[in-house]
Amino acid sequence: DTMQYIKSPVSTVVMGMAASAGSLILTAGEAGQRIALPNARVMVHQPSGGFRGTASDIERHAEDIIATKR
C-alpha cells in the first residue's frame, strides 16, 4: 500500500530473482517503470497455507485460498 500512496513515481528493478512476495512488490512499481534485467527471474507460485481448527474453519480458509488463486 505504501508504494501506491507515495506521490513520486516508484521504479522497481529485478536483478537476480524476485520470488514470492518479491514478485508482488515488482508489480507495485509505476507502470512503465517496472524492470527485470535480461537474466532476471520472477517466480510466482500458487497460494498455500496450513490450517488447524474445526472442519468449518478449515473449509472457510480453503474457500479463501481458492478465491485468491482465481
Domains of the chain: 2-69 (3.90.226.10)
Which residue in this structure is represented by grid cell 512503465?
A: 32
pLDDT at 25: 92
Q: 10-residue block means of pLDDT along the chain (70 residues)?
A: 81 95 91 96 83 88 85
List residues with catalytic annotation. Answer: 20, 45
At 10, the amino acid letter reads V
Residue 51's pLDDT is what? 76
Residue 61: the pLDDT is 86
Cβ contacts of 3 within 8 Å, gap of 6 or more: 10, 25, 28, 29
